Structure 1
Amino acid sequence: MTDGLLENRLVVLPRRTYCAVMSSRTLTVTFDAHDPTRLAQFWAGLLGREVVEDSGGALLPGDDTQVSLRFAPSRAHQVESARRLHLHLTSASADDQEHTVAAALRLGGGHLDVGQRPEEGHIVLADPEGNAFCVIEPGNNFLAGCGLLGEVACDGTREVGLFWSEALGWPLVWDQNEETAIQSPHGGTKVAWGGPPVTPKEGRNRQRFHLAAAGGDQQAEVDRLIALGATRLEVGADGAVVLADPDGNEFSVNRN
């Protein structure tokens, strides 16, 4: 878990000027799930979103400032090292933090011990399928103004942060000590990478990014991402092209 890094991220870097001319893309985070509908209902209740059926799974659409969440059916065995990201939810006050935690427990979540210290203000929980997430304490400057789903916190190198900045057209808002973070030009959810050491990858990631091809031109989007440093892996049964980013994390590109 990289939550301790939040304590160091108290200043937001100015947005790089070159990002202003880049076309930005929306981002969906896909979770493998044994029961996609159940998991989607949990997160919909926690985030106040609607559940939409999506290719045999379930989707919680976001918007220009909040990433979408998608839950895909999978019977794969859950491998701890295959979890390279988790979500951070924000709090407006101590009462708001308590309310979010209570709502998560009521919806079927549970507390999770990952070695956090008693003096740390964030609360670590797990959703009904064991995916870790944190409810961040109020007053966190790094996530101020990011919305309820404040951050997608990832295990990864600086190189992969720079790759995703270019891939999405999202400017860097943090780049220090091998840690990086990006954010849509519209604001909202940040995506951050904690830098080395990175947990060795074993098997396919349980959570991964999903992109829709700009203008529906899937091949052009795949070619663009490969030119930025991605590696082509395979074509899925649903027609999505599966690539790997510079850290070896799988992600998919759909036609729309």
Structure 2
Amino acid sequence: MALKRLNALRPLLRRSLAQQVHPPLASTSALSPLLCPGGACHPAACARLYATKKAKAKAKGQSAKVNINTALVEDIISLDAVMGDMSEVLNALKDDFTRNLSIRTSPGALDHIVVTTPDGKFPLNQLGQISMKSPQLIMVNMSSFPEATAAATRALREGSMNLNPEVDGTIIKVPVPKVTREHRENLVKMAKQFSNKAKESLRRLRSNALTQVKKAKEGHSEDTVRLVEKQIQQMADDMAADIDKQLAAKTKELLG
């Protein structure tokens, strides 16, 4: 009789023992307040939270922009003057792009071609009358300064516009060249050369400005001098970025 009762209780004993050895796992919802504040969250939400924290940490590690009151450091250097000089470099680059890197040759594109004469250097439009004879031909009338005809022809031929002028008395005939892929790529190379030249000018301006700051640093705290130097570097970096933008836009225009 006792043996029968023991056999009947055996399943209950096994179940109790199993629960003690392998306790039920805690549900993920119970852990969610630790992983996601405010309760349970979707795994994607956790990923977004983690990504946001990473982005904030990355931004925190980046150096902040400097914005100095220029009037307070005038006795060290005129930051407005430095900015003006750097802006002139960018404006000169834009001017070079407009005058020398045009896909379509037009009378206006020849205006600023520089002609070297015994009396000095002059823009072509001051020596001759430029007109469009036809969509395929530009005429330059040099009757006002016939002695400069040869020099003007040489300037047109040696310029960056791939021109092949022909002389007829005091008239220079300039056939409009066809726009080929090779011509476009050559113009892009010239655009890069102009941009590199502008960056070299920018580096010289930055170097000269930093040298001026070092010479005038006496009587000023190291922190102030360091901020001024950082401001100059930041100005140069921003202007270099603008040069890159101009080059990218011009390259896109030239390559079509």
TM-score of the alignment, normalized to the shorter chain, above 0.5: no
Larger helix fraction of residues? 2
- Structure 2 length as normaliser, TM-score? 0.21
